[in-house]
Structure 1
Amino acid sequence: MKVLTWLILLSALALSANAQENYDASLIPKELLPYASAVIRSNDMSIEVKDLDNTYYRIKTAVTILNKNGDDEAEIVIFHDKANVIKNIKGLVYNQFGKPIGKFSESDFQDDAAVSRSALFEDTKVKHFQPAVTDYPYTVVYEYEYKSKQSLSFQDWEPKPSVDVAVEKSSYTFSCKPDFKIRYKEINMPSHLVEGTNKQGENTYSWQVSNLNASKVEPYSPIYEKMSSRVKISPASQFNYLGVTGSFNDWNGMGKWIYDKLLSSRRALPQSTVYRMQEITKDITDPKAKAKKVYEYMQGKTHYISVQVGIGGYQPFLASDVDAQNYGDCKALVNYTQSLFKAVDIDSYYCIVKSGTLKRSPLTDFASMNQFDHVILCLPFKNDTTFLECTSQQIPFGFLSDFTDDRDVLACTPEGGKLMHTPKYPAKTNTQQCTANFTLAADGTLSGSMLTNFKGLQYDNRTYLLTEPPKEQVKILQKIYAINNLDIEKFDFKEDKNIHPSLTETIKLTAPDYGSAVNGKIDFLANATNRKDNTPREVRNRHYDLYINTGYTDEDEITYTLPKGYHVDMRPASISLEKPFGNFSVSATVVGNQLIYKRKLQIIDGTYSKDLYQAFVDFYQSVSETDNSNVTLIKDN
């Protein structure tokens, strides 16, 4: 009887504790609802460095999903590897009234490899779980712990993860022994650090925020992490990463540690390979031409694969192993290429970088390992610094593409680390130039050929097609060119893979009924090759600046030979627009029996005042309207 009474008492206490957390969606403060797709009801993250090789993370989150646009915030994603071991995961799902409708645990999570061309952590896996709920609003409450066997790199705290997320309350506590010193960086934080000591005698560093409003999702906004609130922490005293110790307080020290502890012992090559490099370059005197020969040898010999060895994701494969096995990840291939260059007395730098089409650079005043995810190589030629991407067998020597262009990287050298900037590809060099010669028949059939040249970042507009089978290439080209009834009779691609690469596409085509021929009149679109149909949506009372990530220049010249016995009755009016963010011009000229249509569109990358956004929308609307203008031919009497 006493046992039963005690169990009832325990159950009552548990119910009482649960009752303190009410996840009824109607309790969310009304001022947090505008523009919100999700509301973080509470989030608590704590990091405890117990020892240099023993760090504990504890995360507990409750988030209410208001509509389908917020579903991403309900997905739980946890990365792990041999240095980061998950201890437990559990959670509950509540309906809009705060009543539990389901629970989940670690066994409900999928566990997948988390590798890519850019991954520094090639052995990383990711556990992820998405509640199957479609009745809104609903709330997901979960908590998990994991142990990290290192004290080098710590997860950032970002209390408001997206523009359209509001936050009721969120807290972050970092604790460590008094002899473990840290550096921290507060970025756009509405609150500041509170320091203290816990009952274990550890130093504590705490931040809290509450009542953070969501904002409108605005197209062409700056990179979110430049606007969001976050706290970064990095060790200021000795750390341990899987048995390798060190310390640094700035980029110079961090690059020195990487070079000395992770790279310098990995570069030995078989003597036969050294002789091979010297042999294939013996008649080349120009250092850059010599480097190109070695680089292309590496491309022809190796291929990229996700592998992981050494002390985890930061250290590359041995160069001798890559030489024997002919594969490696980004770290291994850069290290191997650097070793090949050394064999012919060419200096190079191992550079870590944040990859992706968005241009993200590390903070200049705060050194930490978690600001990078990829490695490239730098050749510091005098007055001609050249960067190399080593994971692609096709990319031209010296061309980075938009994967790592125009951003700071950390070069790791024997003298220490130094921040360098990768090449910028401005709008005037990212060109797509099309010259077309078409004949229009009296029945509306279009026939002829066009030649298009791609340069700069637009070089990549077609490179992905080169490895596709011919039938698939035709299908893709038919989707690219919005010409009704397009029949591609012949096509060809030619590459010029120099340091400023280009690709030339030639197409011979016919398109029955391109023009609508009715009662002695033919109507057809003047711009057959390169139309803008989508325009940015309007945003009233815009909050963020206008940001254009990549600029480009498109030029088209189409010559139409008109059917005999017809003359031009209507054609697109000439237009010329010049704005800070771009230029656009069109003309349509009749010369004898030909109509010559010329178009130029240039978009200039950069950050512009939010007050220019409406002009930007109007500009694109003018482009779209002009691109869809018709030509009308009338039959002569």
Structure 2
Amino acid sequence: MRQKLAFLIFWLAAIPFATIAQQHTIPAALNKGANVIVNSEETVFTVHSPGSATAYFKTSITILNENGLHRAKVTVPYDKLSKVNYIKGTSFDRTGKKIKTLKNSDILDVSSFSDISLAEDNRVKIANLEHTVYPFTVEFEYQTTSSNTMFYPMWAPLDEVSMAVVKATFTVVMPAGMKLRYKEANLPEKGTTRTEEGKEIYTWQLSNLAPFKTEPYMPSMAELVPVVRTAPTDFEVEGYAGSMNNWLNYGQWINKLNAGRDVLPEATKAKITALVADAKTPEEKIKRVYEYLQNNTRYISIQLGIGGWQPFEASFVDSKGYGDCKALTNYTQAMLKTIGIDSYHALIRAGDNAPAMMSEFPSSQFNHVILSVPLKADTLWLECTSQIESAGYLGSFTGNRKALLITPEGGKVVNTPVYTAADNAQHRSVTVKIDEKGNGVANVITRYTGQNHEDHRSLMLTASPEDQRKWLYKNIDIPAFEVNKFSFDLKKGRKPEVTEKLELSLRQTATLSGKRMFLTPNLMNKWDSTPNTVENRKWDVERTSAYTNTDTITYEMPAGYTLEYKPNDANYSTEFGSFKTTTKVDGQKVMYVRTLEMNKGRYKPEAYTKMLEFMNNVVKADGQQLVFVKNIP
């Protein structure tokens, strides 16, 4: 998908204008906590036709210290469908004296070819005005033109922490007969519209934005700062005209790109037909085709012109054995079509904690394509770029979010599978035998399900045994131990799981002091810290993950010790989650059971204090100890 490149071309989070000599006009509140100050910024986006647009930027920024030095550089991407008309730049010292004027020879022009790409036409021009004496000011002015109008700019001048904005303006110029769609958020006042020479001119302005203050467990900063999103109604890319006024029409444009590209060689059709000949159910057929895909192809990105959105033909992938997300999805769809199973492309924003799709604002918000296979009872989802994923499992990469399903009629917003706290579980059973010195041997069996299994699945399928051992030493949360034995077992499915078995030698898992032995029963899953308190919290509290952890640990204490103290069992239930522990002692046997369930959700700012109280209770309970005393004859 080409969204990232096009987005940067039309919106390069304006790097800042005005000399140091003008700093006396900056309100004192803007300097506090700032590394950089945007003195002025001007962004003008001009649409000439459904297939042509120009973006103009003029910016100035004062860099106060080394933490803001990255803003002394601009990176302007371009490709086959766009070009950089010019880049200008000048830097000034703290007195306003000119340091340097940018020459064309100073501007680097390099490929942005990525490691996972076989071919790309993406390039970037880089202008650098870094200086070593602070503060100093840089001014940049640049213009780009593009024949790809799928992406109109998003304007968010306050785009990073520790940055202040004195003044910023955003203007969109639309030709007669073309409609601008836009969505405003967090603006102190709405934009204005006027008509000049038959053109509609939209303008937004912001001033005196203080540095953004972060808070623990707040929503994404991009959701909280002032922003204007814009999108086309009519657009065109390399002769493919489309409409984005609703999702149905946008999906119809995608159908134009995909039309006729699902033809497979007859030999491959025969092979796929034979592959599923004895399969008993449609789901079994789908899984066999998916395994064939995983065993015979690999993911490689190829992004050239319209190829950023149009998949390569199924016959290309069949002969070459590789493709990007669009091509591999199209290839899988073609194989399923061969055996009479319908499936549909789904455009999605992939990635952990990716921003939620704005379903009320049709626009190109996607960076990935997956496949949806409707069955009688439900839908089977396929991640066609993975050689290790289970059929039907989307997990943290594309699960728990909305997608745009591309049906024969057009686009339709749907939900991908939701993974609950019960789905994302870690169930652990441990037996520990402790000797008189407090050392022990532990046998651990842990079953990871849902999103909790993902790290272990990747580890067991992609890492060598030695690297697996190193990973265990890094990730097992025990102060002093040795890994004697370990093994992993993967069970694939719509709710896949990994079972991990460990034998560990523990050093001083119980501590001695005189005749007493102290045991912290929570062996491997302690909480030992909480976020900071926040006075007068401003933002909502957001938890983005849901999971359940259960630990059942049985200790065999050394002979000759008697229980002297046992902490009370804990039981807390809140809107954020629940926590429960029980500890039973029977002679030399100690059984400790801990269950923690954390919910995903969004809460009012005042709920933060209650969440901290819950977390502190968990930390306190996790640190409690049993005390045994040695019997002395």
* TM-score, normalised via structure 1 length: 0.90
Partners of 1:584 and 1:20 lie apart in 2 by 56
Matched residue, 1:165: 163
| Within-5 A mapping of 1:515-530 | 515-530=510-525
- Stretch deviating more after TM superposition (566-575 or 387-396): 566-575
Q: Cα gap change, 1:449/1:129 in structure 2, threshold over 3 Å: closer, same or farther? A: farther
Shift of 1:424: 1.1
Give the secondary-structure state (helix, strand or coil) at the position aligned to 1:321.
Answer: helix
- Over residues 406-441 of structure 1, what are the superposed CA-to-partner deviations in whole Å (9 max), with x where a residue is unaligned? 111111121111001111111122101111101111
2:124 corresponds to 1:140: no
2:550 corresponds to 1:555: yes
Partner amino acid, structure 2, of 1:428? A
Matched residue, 1:32: 30
Between Structure 1 and Structure 2, how many residues are aligned? 613
| Within-5 A mapping of 1:6-17 | none
Runs (5+) with no aligned partner, structure 1: 1-18
- Over residues 208-263 of structure 1, what are the superposed CA-to-partner deviations in whole Å (9 max), with x where a residue is unaligned? 222233332112111333333322222224x321222233411000001111x211
- Over residues 78-99 of structure 1, what are the superposed CA-to-partner deviations in whole Å (9 max), with x where a residue is unaligned? 3332212223333344455555
Partners of 1:221 and 1:134 lie apart in 2 by 35
2:593 corresponds to 1:598: yes
Partners of 2:129 and 2:422 lie apart in 1 by 47
Matched residue, 2:62: 64
Q: Cα gap change, 1:399/1:525 in structure 2, threshold over 3 Å: closer, same or farther? A: same
Q: Choose which of 87, 90, 105 in structure 1 pairs with 2:85.
A: 87
Contact 2:403 2:413 in 1 (8 A): yes
Q: Cα gap change, 1:605/1:269 in structure 2, threshold over 3 Å: closer, same or farther? A: same
- Over residues 176-232 of structure 1, what are the superposed CA-to-partner deviations in whole Å (9 max), with x where a residue is unaligned? 431433322323333333333457x64322222222333321121113333333222
Matched residue, 2:468: 473
Q: Choose which of 602, 614, 619 in structure 1 pairs with 2:614.
A: 619
Give the secondary-structure state (helix, strand or coil) at the position aligned to 1:589.
Answer: strand
2:370 corresponds to 1:376: yes
Matched residue, 2:254: 258
Shift of 1:607: 0.3
Shift of 1:387: 1.8
Partners of 1:605 and 1:131 lie apart in 2 by 44
Give the secondary-structure state (helix, strand or coil) at the position aligned to 1:267.
Answer: coil
Partners of 1:623 and 1:247 lie apart in 2 by 53
Give the secondary-structure state (helix, strand or coil) at the position aligned to 2:142.
Answer: strand
Partners of 2:55 and 2:128 lie apart in 1 by 22
Give the secondary-structure state (helix, strand or coil) at the position aligned to 2:306.
Answer: coil
- Over residues 455-491 of structure 1, what are the superposed CA-to-partner deviations in whole Å (9 max), with x where a residue is unaligned? 1111113123112121221121112113233111110
Partner amino acid, structure 2, of 1:226? E
Shift of 1:169: 1.2
Contact 1:361 1:408 in 2 (8 A): yes
Matched residue, 2:208: 211
| Within-5 A mapping of 1:287-306 | 287-306=282-301
Q: Cα gap change, 1:252/1:402 in structure 2, threshold over 3 Å: closer, same or farther? A: same
2:426 corresponds to 1:432: yes
- Over residues 287-332 of structure 1, what are the superposed CA-to-partner deviations in whole Å (9 max), with x where a residue is unaligned? 1221111111111111111212462311111111001111111111
Matched residue, 1:587: 582
| Within-5 A mapping of 1:33-432 | 33-34=31-32, 36-66=34-64, 70=68, 76-101=74-99, 107=106, 109=108, 111=110, 113=112, 115=114, 123-126=121-124, 137-162=135-160, 164-198=162-196, 202-237=199-234, 239-259=235-255, 261-309=256-304, 311-369=306-364, 371-432=365-426
Shift of 1:613: 0.5
Give the secondary-structure state (helix, strand or coil) at the position aligned to 1:513.
Answer: coil
Partners of 1:431 and 1:130 lie apart in 2 by 48
Give the secondary-structure state (helix, strand or coil) at the position aligned to 1:394.
Answer: coil
Partners of 2:433 and 2:66 lie apart in 1 by 50
Partners of 1:470 and 1:108 lie apart in 2 by 47
- Stretch deviating more after TM superposition (303-312 or 92-101): 92-101
Q: Cα gap change, 1:607/1:75 in structure 2, threshold over 3 Å: closer, same or farther? A: farther
- Over residues 58-103 of structure 1, what are the superposed CA-to-partner deviations in whole Å (9 max), with x where a residue is unaligned? 1122233455665565553433322122233333444555555556
Partner amino acid, structure 1, of 2:250? M
Q: Cα gap change, 1:547/1:521 in structure 2, threshold over 3 Å: closer, same or farther? A: same
Give the secondary-structure state (helix, strand or coil) at the position aligned to 1:191.
Answer: coil
Q: Cα gap change, 1:463/1:505 in structure 2, threshold over 3 Å: closer, same or farther? A: same
Matched residue, 1:514: 509
Q: Cα gap change, 1:46/1:282 in structure 2, threshold over 3 Å: closer, same or farther? A: same
Give the secondary-structure state (helix, strand or coil) at the position aligned to 1:311.
Answer: helix
Give the secondary-structure state (helix, strand or coil) at the position aligned to 2:615.
Answer: helix
Contact 2:245 2:362 in 1 (8 A): yes
Contact 1:558 1:596 in 2 (8 A): yes
Q: Cα gap change, 1:26/1:579 in structure 2, threshold over 3 Å: closer, same or farther? A: farther
* TM-score, normalised via structure 2 length: 0.90
Partner amino acid, structure 1, of 2:190? H
Shift of 1:140: 3.5
Shift of 1:372: 0.9
Give the secondary-structure state (helix, strand or coil) at the position aligned to 1:499.
Answer: coil
Partners of 1:500 and 1:81 lie apart in 2 by 41
2:458 corresponds to 1:458: no
- Stretch deviating more after TM superposition (89-98 or 278-287): 89-98
Q: Cα gap change, 1:66/1:566 in structure 2, threshold over 3 Å: closer, same or farther? A: farther
Q: Cα gap change, 1:64/1:427 in structure 2, threshold over 3 Å: closer, same or farther? A: farther
Contact 2:19 2:92 in 1 (8 A): no
Shift of 1:359: 4.4
Matched residue, 1:3: none
Partners of 1:307 and 1:178 lie apart in 2 by 37
- Over residues 30-58 of structure 1, what are the superposed CA-to-partner deviations in whole Å (9 max), with x where a residue is unaligned? 23345544432211111122344432211
- Stretch deviating more after TM superposition (414-423 or 621-630): 621-630
Partners of 1:611 and 1:340 lie apart in 2 by 53
Give the secondary-structure state (helix, strand or coil) at the position aligned to 2:157.
Answer: coil
Q: Cα gap change, 1:128/1:463 in structure 2, threshold over 3 Å: closer, same or farther? A: farther
- Stretch deviating more after TM superposition (532-541 or 69-78): 69-78
Matched residue, 2:569: 574
Contact 2:577 2:599 in 1 (8 A): yes
- Over residues 482-522 of structure 1, what are the superposed CA-to-partner deviations in whole Å (9 max), with x where a residue is unaligned? 32331111100000011110001000111233333343333
Q: Cα gap change, 1:508/1:373 in structure 2, threshold over 3 Å: closer, same or farther? A: same
- Over residues 88-133 of structure 1, what are the superposed CA-to-partner deviations in whole Å (9 max), with x where a residue is unaligned? 333344455555555656745584536588x9x9654455677656
Contact 2:18 2:40 in 1 (8 A): no
Fraction of identical pairs, as percent: 34
Matched residue, 2:436: 442
Q: Cα gap change, 1:392/1:247 in structure 2, threshold over 3 Å: closer, same or farther? A: same
Partner amino acid, structure 2, of 1:247? S
Partners of 2:531 and 2:149 lie apart in 1 by 45
